[in-house]
């Protein structure tokens, strides 16, 4: 499948086509045209192009076209040999820190770093002098000179892989360093290495041509493309094709290697464009626009989020309807893949094509996000807190100006006034010494403090809704509590509503008035959070609550588990998505999807013992 | 199974002291929970026991002898991230076979792989799968099976359920309890989740700023904490006390 992906691209097709031609020439040209290339014709010295000699003859009357074809073998063999030398030396040097231990490895790495700083050509010339003139010397010189670049690459790639836990696990299991290198590290860095080696081969080819052209490479009577160019240069004004012919061969072979490398890179995903090869097979179903529920800060009807995927569209959210009243706190719980985070992102207007958002309406603070241009007006009435406090700030800017930007953009405040408000807001989220902190960079903040600053950023405007997507998942319990308290306090002070997304049932019951439970892109149950542990009617909700140990869990019994795997969002079953894992499911459940009626989407909700 | 004991273990990176004279004992057949905030040194303690973190002082003994930090360790570790703990290019069977102490023949190896997978409640047919085909919970079970394949005397479990969904977490925790009961495993179970530790551990150690501030039977430490920091941790649990809306 991967090979097909390489070949089907224009770049891959051209690259492989050219490379095949070049390799065929290298393999068979000396056999087929070796005699013709060596045949001396004294009556036809330095002749121009003719029907018999397409690009003319050389100073002994030998046919240059045949010589260019025959020279392919030596040129390619030398280029591949030199690349192989670079690659092997590079891998050895790059693996040194793994094989030799920390201190010796560091020495090797520093040496490589110094060598990388030298211009490549200088190294080639230096080594060419060291190893002596001739094909072998040139191959060694080019190979050794290319090694530092590969060593650097290998070192970086291997360092990333050897941080992985499976390498640590192999070491703990007593696997020797060499075996770890061969079994775990090399296979996992092979793809980028192959891509780079293929591309480097093209460059090496050119370097060789250059060396031979300078007279440092291949010596007569052997000849490669560089040597042919050198020979043809004397008559370049009389017979330009004599020099250009081998030149064109170098260009074509170089292109063949580079395009093949590009095609590999694209196929291995190094330069892949997401979504291009993926299709949205389903036609867009028209959604009838519906009016928003009155007196709500958030009203959503029939929200669907669809992501294009290689195996068909992923229906991550499949029709979610809910509303949040002014000042209300609503929690959304569910496991990964339930669509809870995408629901939050859609509410925040943060989903971009190719991911598709459809809804009857999606009204946030009076703005229908399904209408054009609504996002801009949301800037001050919506606040967002994300899970990872490290990535929600731009690491290159100070915290204060990042907060101030909100007011400068949305409220057209001046720089000074905006910064003053930023400091005031940082104080409001209980960050000590806000003036000093505003001048600091995000990395100088702890995780909890960054989350506070993020909430502060939401408070730069006058938020009527705060969307918090797993705001405390990356934090310790003690810090989590502070952030949750801050959210509660902000709600009390500003009267803002809260939409809290979490996988943690206990966090949601602590903070929210009402809970939506999501499974496979649908809301399966909606109930007051105080009833979540005791009065849940949907079997999934009950299983979810029972699966989480708390400080009162019965230690003598095994924890409740939900058998089976979560529904695959590409192939959602026709009936109830939870039916395959549900102990109560019958044929009706598997055939007909239950609607959300009176707060629960389950055919069996009346049978569940409460 | 055997006793793993940490004696005045000290780990320092530059001027930063991660572990400061930590002494702790994981006795035969016991599960000891280690709790604390992120950055308090929990993982470093486990990594030090398998030679992945260099000791600045103190020693780590297994039945009175230093734990070797070369070759096959008698102490095995299971890591937090199920997506980084298995080599994506090796099948489940190959990963398990790699950790086995002796080279077995083909049939013996297959039988051992099937036995290990059965221990962690996985189908033997999974042996031919690459990790990419497994869910997070299944990967974590394979990681556990790999640790068992090395026939360890002690297992270190470093936040093994924190990257898992709650429904899967339950299955892994049940498995840990089954294994202690059936195999008599000694285990150091590291987690920031007190409820999880309460469920699996016999004893609990509370680590704060690189020092153990409290150690004792689980019910005692979590039920009647003596140290302020332990009380602070317990009070921070969601639902422990109502959120103060005024600070």
The pLDDT of residue A271 is above 50: no
Is residue A522 situated within a structural domain? Answer: no
Ramachandran assignment for B74, one of left (phi > 0), alpha (psi -120 to 50 degrees), beta (any other): alpha
Ordered alpha helix ranges (H), chain B = 42-49, 92-99, 106-119, 136-149, 166-183, 194-200, 218-223, 228-235
The pLDDT of residue A491 is above 50: yes
Of the candidates A175, A336, A559, which has its C-beta nearest B174's C-beta?
A: A559
- pLDDT per residue as tens digits for the range A398-436: 888 888 888 887 777 888 888 888 888 888 888 888 888
The pLDDT of residue B76 is above 50: yes
- pLDDT per residue as tens digits for the range A335-387: 887 888 889 888 888 888 888 888 888 888 877 877 766 666 666 788 888 87
What pLDDT is recorded for position A35? Answer: 84
In this prediction, residues A23-35 reach a mean pLDDT of: 89
Same domain, A340 and A436: yes
- pLDDT per residue as tens digits for the range A63-107: 889 999 999 999 999 999 999 999 999 999 999 888 887 788 889
Of the candidates A175, A510, A565, which has its C-beta nearest B98's C-beta?
A: A175
Of A496, A516, A536, which residue is a domain's last?
A: A516
In 3D space, the residue among A505, A595, A581, A502 whose CA is nearest the CA of residue A539 turns out to be A581
Read off the tokens for B14.
């530059």
Same domain, A237 and A340: no
What pLDDT is recorded for position A376? Answer: 62
Contact A173 B76 (CB under 8 A): yes
Asked if residue A59 lies in contact with residue A45, where contact means CB atoms within 8 angstroms, the answer is: yes
Rg of chain B (C-alpha set): 19
- CA A175 to mean position of chain CA atoms: 31
Write out the H or E segment, with its range, that includes residue B10.
strand B4-13
- pLDDT per residue as tens digits for the range A322-343: 989 888 999 999 888 788 888 9
CA distance A509 to A519: 18
In chain A, what is the greatest distance between 2 CA atoms, to the nearest angstrom? 107
In this prediction, residues A424-450 reach a mean pLDDT of: 82
Alpha carbon separation from A378 to A21, A406, A408, A409, B172 (Å, rounded): 59, 11, 15, 12, 43
**What CATH number is attached to the domain comprising A201?**
1.10.3720.10
Which residues lie across from A363 on neighbouring strands? A299, A368
Domains contained in chain B, CATH given: 1-70+202-239 (3.40.50.300), 72-155+162-187 (3.40.50.300)
* ipTM of this complex prediction, to 2 decimal places: 0.86
Instruction: Please provide the average confidence, as pLDDT, over all residues in chain A.
Output: 84
Contact A172 B76 (CB under 8 A): yes
**Spatial CB neighbours of A436, under 8 Å, sequence gap ≥ 6:** none
Same domain, A305 and A252: no
Read off the tokens for A121.
């050509």
Quick one: pLDDT band at residue A446, thresholds 50, 70, 90? confident
Same domain, A328 and A230: no
The pLDDT of residue A273 is above 70: no
The pLDDT of residue A36 is above 60: yes
Sheet of B154-158: strands edge to edge? B75-78, B154-158, B186-190, B31-35, B203-208, B211-217
Same domain, A253 and A392: no
What pLDDT is recorded for position A377? Answer: 64
The pLDDT of residue A3 is above 80: no
- pLDDT per residue as tens digits for the range B226-242: 999 999 888 888 766 66
Q: Are strands A382-385 and A367-368 parallel, antiparallel or unpaired?
A: unpaired
Alpha carbon separation from B135 to A199, A564, A587, B132, B181 (Å, rounded): 37, 11, 27, 8, 26
CB contacts, 8 Å: A476 with chain B: 37-38, 192
In 3D space, the residue among A193, A202, A149, A272 whose CA is nearest the CA of residue A22 turns out to be A202
User: Length of chain A, please?
Assistant: 610
Contact A559 B199 (CB under 8 A): yes
The residue among A243 and A516 whose pLDDT is bigger is A516
* Chain A residue closest in CA terms to B94: A183
Tokens 């035969």 correspond to B28
Alpha carbon separation from A244 to A48, A256, A538, B186 (Å, rounded): 13, 18, 78, 76
In 3D space, the residue among A69, A83, A97 whose CA is nearest the CA of residue A147 turns out to be A83
Quick one: pLDDT band at residue A275, thresholds 50, 70, 90? very low
In this prediction, residues B160-178 reach a mean pLDDT of: 83
What pLDDT is recorded for position B34? Answer: 94
Q: Let me know if A32 is exposed, middle or buried by CB neighbors in 10 A (0-12, 13-18, 19+).
A: middle
CB contacts, 8 Å: B165 with chain A: 335-336, 503, 566
Q: Are strands A329-333 and A382-385 parallel, antiparallel or unpaired?
A: unpaired
What pLDDT is recorded for position B245? Answer: 46
* Chain B residue closest in CA terms to A473: B162
Query: By the CB < 8 Å criterion, does A530 face chain B?
Result: no
Of A461, A495, A516, which residue is a domain's last?
A: A516
* Chain B residue closest in CA terms to A173: B72
CB contacts, 8 Å: A175 with chain B: 98
What pLDDT is recorded for position A276? Answer: 45
In this prediction, residues A247-265 reach a mean pLDDT of: 88
Crossing angle of the two packed helices A64-100 and A10-38, in degrees rounded to 10: 120
Same domain, A185 and A326: no
- DSSP class of residue A167 equals H
The residue among A476 and B145 whose pLDDT is bigger is B145
In this prediction, residues A55-62 reach a mean pLDDT of: 84
Quick one: pLDDT band at residue A499, thresholds 50, 70, 90? very high
- Give the Cβ contact number of residue A494 at 10 Å: 17
What pLDDT is recorded for position B247? Answer: 39
In angstroms, what separates the C-alpha of A303 from chain B's closest C-alpha? 24
Quick one: pLDDT band at residue A287, thresholds 50, 70, 90? low
| Range from A285-294, A429-438, B34-43, B145-154 carrying the lowest mean pLDDT | A285-294
In this prediction, residues B130-151 reach a mean pLDDT of: 87
Asked if residue B76 lies in contact with residue B150, where contact means CB atoms within 8 angstroms, the answer is: yes
- pLDDT above 90: percentage of residues in chain A: 15
**Which among B98, B142, B230 is the top mutation candidate for probing chain A, defined by the most A β-carbons within 10 Å of its own β-carbon?**
B98
Q: Let me know if B17 is exposed, middle or buried by CB neighbors in 10 A (0-12, 13-18, 19+).
A: middle
Asked if residue B158 lies in contact with residue B117, where contact means CB atoms within 8 angstroms, the answer is: no
Is residue A171 situated within a structural domain? Answer: yes
**What CATH number is attached to the domain comprising A401?**
3.40.50.300
Is residue A367 situated within a structural domain? Answer: yes
CA distance A503 to A392: 20
Same domain, A401 and A464: yes
Read off the tokens for A111.
């040496």
Is residue A106 situated within a structural domain? Answer: yes
Sheet of B65-66: strands edge to edge? B16-26, B4-13, B57-62, B65-66
CB contacts, 8 Å: A509 with chain B: 238-239
What pLDDT is recorded for position A2? Answer: 58
Is residue A6 situated within a structural domain? Answer: yes
Same domain, A263 and A306: no
Contact B194 A551 (CB under 8 A): yes
What pLDDT is recorded for position A6? Answer: 66
- Upstream peptide bond of A221 is cis (omega within 30 degrees of 0): yes
Three-state DSSP class for residue B65? strand
In this prediction, residues A223-227 reach a mean pLDDT of: 88
In this prediction, residues A257-281 reach a mean pLDDT of: 64
b (16+ CB within 10 A) / e for A75-91: bbebbbbbbebbbebbb
In 3D space, the residue among A457, A305, A478, A486 whose CA is nearest the CA of residue A382 turns out to be A457
Same domain, A250 and A363: no
Residues 579-608 of A with CB under 8 A from B: none
Of A481, A516, A551, which residue is a domain's last?
A: A516
Contact B237 A559 (CB under 8 A): no
CA dihedral B57, B58, B60, B61 (to 10 degrees): 140
In this prediction, residues B121-132 reach a mean pLDDT of: 87
What pLDDT is recorded for position A92? Answer: 92
Residues 329-358 of A with CB under 8 A from B: 335-336
Of the candidates B38, B84, B170, which has its C-beta nearest A559's C-beta?
A: B170
Query: By the CB < 8 Å criterion, does A528 face chain B?
Result: no
Which residues lie across from A367 on neighbouring strands? A364
* Chain A residue closest in CA terms to B201: A555
In 3D space, the residue among A565, B180, A260 whose CA is nearest the CA of residue A577 turns out to be A565
In this prediction, residues B30-55 reach a mean pLDDT of: 88
CB contacts, 8 Å: A547 with chain B: 166-167, 169-170
The pLDDT of residue B46 is above 60: yes
The pLDDT of residue B244 is above 70: no
Ramachandran assignment for A515, one of left (phi > 0), alpha (psi -120 to 50 degrees), beta (any other): beta
Is residue A285 situated within a structural domain? Answer: no
Of the candidates B73, B146, B147, which has its C-beta nearest A174's C-beta?
A: B73
CA distance B168 to B135: 10
Is residue A14 situated within a structural domain? Answer: yes
Read off the tokens for A494.
């500003």
CA distance B65 to B48: 15
In this prediction, residues A507-527 reach a mean pLDDT of: 90
Q: Are strands B75-78 and B4-13 parallel, antiparallel or unpaired?
A: unpaired
Most confident residue range from A280-294, A472-486, B48-62: B48-62
Is residue A170 situated within a structural domain? Answer: yes
In 3D space, the residue among B75, B84, B88, B155 whose CA is nearest the CA of residue B119 turns out to be B155
Same domain, A345 and A238: no
Interface A–B counts its CB contacts (< 8 A) at 160
In angstroms, what separates the C-alpha of A541 from chain B's closest C-alpha? 11
Same domain, A246 and A364: no
CB contacts, 8 Å: B89 with chain A: 187-188
Q: How many domains does chain A have?
A: 2
DSSP string, B151-164: --SEEEEESTTTTS
Same domain, A254 and A301: no
Range of the domain at A326: 296-516
Query: By the CB < 8 Å criterion, does A188 face chain B?
Result: yes
Q: Let me know if B3 is exposed, middle or buried by CB neighbors in 10 A (0-12, 13-18, 19+).
A: middle
């Amino acid at each position: 499948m991967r090979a097909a992906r390489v070949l089907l691209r224009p770049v891959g097709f051209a690259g492989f086509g050219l490379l095949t031609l070049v390799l065929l020439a290298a393999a068979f040209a000396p056999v087929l045209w070796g005699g013709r290339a060596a045949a001396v014709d004294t009556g036809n010295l330095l002749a121009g192009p003719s029907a018999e000699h397409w690009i003319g003859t050389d100073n002994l009357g030998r046919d240059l076209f045949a010589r260019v074809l025959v020279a392919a073998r030596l040129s390619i063999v030398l280029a591949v040999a030199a690349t192989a030398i670079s690659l092997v030396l590079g891998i050895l040097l790059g693996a040194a820190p793994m094989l030799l231990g920390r201190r010796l490895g560091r020495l090797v790495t520093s040496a490589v770093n110094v060598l990388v700083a030298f211009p490549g050509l200088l190294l080639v010339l230096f080594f060419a002098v060291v190893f002596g003139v001739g094909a072998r010397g040139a191959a060694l010189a080019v190979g050794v000179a290319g090694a530092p670049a590969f060593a650097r690459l290998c070192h970086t790639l291997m360092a990333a892989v050897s941080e992985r836990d499976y390498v640590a696990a192999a070491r703990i299991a007593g696997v020797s360093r060499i075996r770890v290198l061969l079994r775990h590290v090399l296979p996992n860095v092979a793809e980028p290495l192959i891509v780079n080696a293929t591309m480097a081969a093209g460059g090496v080819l050119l370097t060789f041509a250059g060396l031979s052209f300078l007279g440092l490479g291949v010596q007569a009577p052997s000849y490669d493309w560089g040597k042919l160019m050198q020979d043809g240069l004397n008559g370049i004004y009389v017979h330009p094709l004599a020099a250009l012919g081998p030149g064109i061969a170098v260009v074509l072979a170089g292109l063949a290697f580079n395009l093949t490398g590009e095609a590999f890179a694209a196929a291995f995903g190094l330069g892949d464009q997401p979504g291009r090869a993926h299709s949205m097979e389903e036609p867009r179903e028209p959604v009838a626009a519906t009016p928003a529920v009155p007196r709500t800060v958030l009203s959503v009807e029939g929200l669907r989020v669809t992501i294009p995927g290689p195996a068909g569209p992923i229906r991550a959210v499949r029709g979610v309807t809910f509303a949040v009243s002014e000042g209300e706190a609503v929690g959304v719980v569910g496991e990964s893949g339930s669509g809870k985070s995408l629901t939050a992102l859609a509410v925040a207007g943060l989903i971009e094509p190719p991911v598709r958002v459809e809804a009857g309406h999606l009204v946030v603070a009076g703005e229908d996000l399904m209408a054009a241009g609504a996002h801009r007006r949301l800037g001050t009435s919506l606040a967002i807190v994300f899970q990872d406090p490290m990535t929600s700030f731009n690491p290159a800017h100070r915290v204060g100006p990042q907060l101030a930007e909100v007011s400068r953009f949305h409220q057209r405040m001046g720089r000074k006034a905006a910064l003053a408000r930023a400091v005031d807001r940082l104080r409001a989220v209980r960050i000590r010494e806000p003036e000093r902190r505003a001048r600091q960079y995000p990395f100088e903040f702890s995780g909890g403090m960054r989350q506070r600053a993020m909430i502060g950023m939401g408070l730069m405007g006058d938020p009527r809704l705060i969307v918090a997507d797993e705001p405390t998942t990356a934090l310790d319990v003690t810090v989590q509590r502070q952030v949750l308290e801050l959210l509660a306090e902000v709600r009390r002070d500003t009267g803002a509503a809260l939409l809290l997304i979490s996988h943690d049932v206990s966090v949601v019951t602590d903070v929210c008035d009402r809970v939506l439970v999501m499974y496979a892109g649908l809301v399966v149950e909606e109930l007051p959070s105080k009833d979540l542990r005791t009065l849940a009617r949907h079997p999934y909700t009950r299983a979810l609550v029972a699966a989480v140990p708390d400080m009162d869990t019965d230690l003598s019994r095994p924890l409740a588990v939900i058998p089976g795997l979560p529904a695959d969002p590409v192939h959602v079953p026709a009936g109830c998505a939870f039916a395959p894992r549900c102990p109560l499911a019958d044929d009706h459940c598997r055939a007909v999807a239950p609607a959300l009626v009176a707060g629960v989407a389950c055919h069996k909700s009346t049978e569940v013992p409460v | 199974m055997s006793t793993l004991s940490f004696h005045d273990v000290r780990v320092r990176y530059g001027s930063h002291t991660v572990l400061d004279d930590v002494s702790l004992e994981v006795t035969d057949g016991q599960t000891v929970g280690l709790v604390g905030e992120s950055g308090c040194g929990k993982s470093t303690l486990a990594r030090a026991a398998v030679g992945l973190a260099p000791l600045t002082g103190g020693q780590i003994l297994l039945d009175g002898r230093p734990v070797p930090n070369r070759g096959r360790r008698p102490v095995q570790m299971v890591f937090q991230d199920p997506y980084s703990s298995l080599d994506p290019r090796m099948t489940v069977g190959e990963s398990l076979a790699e950790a086995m102490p002796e080279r077995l023949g083909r049939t013996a190896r297959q039988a051992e792989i099937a036995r290990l997978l059965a221990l962690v409640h996985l189908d033997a047919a999974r042996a031919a799968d690459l990790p990419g085909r497994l869910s997070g919970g299944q990967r974590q079970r394979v990681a556990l099976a790999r640790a068992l394949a090395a026939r360890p005397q002690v297992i270190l479990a470093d936040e093994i359920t924190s990257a898992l969904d709650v429904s899967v977490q339950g299955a892994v925790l049940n498995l840990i309890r089954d294994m202690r009961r059936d195999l008599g495993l000694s285990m150091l179970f590291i987690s920031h989740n007190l409820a999880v530790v309460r469920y699996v551990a016999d004893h609990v150690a509370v680590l704060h700023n690189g020092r153990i501030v409290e150690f004792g039977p689980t019910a005692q430490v979590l039920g009647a904490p003596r140290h302020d920091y332990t009380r602070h941790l317990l009070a921070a649990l969601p639902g422990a006390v109502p959120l103060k809306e005024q600070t």
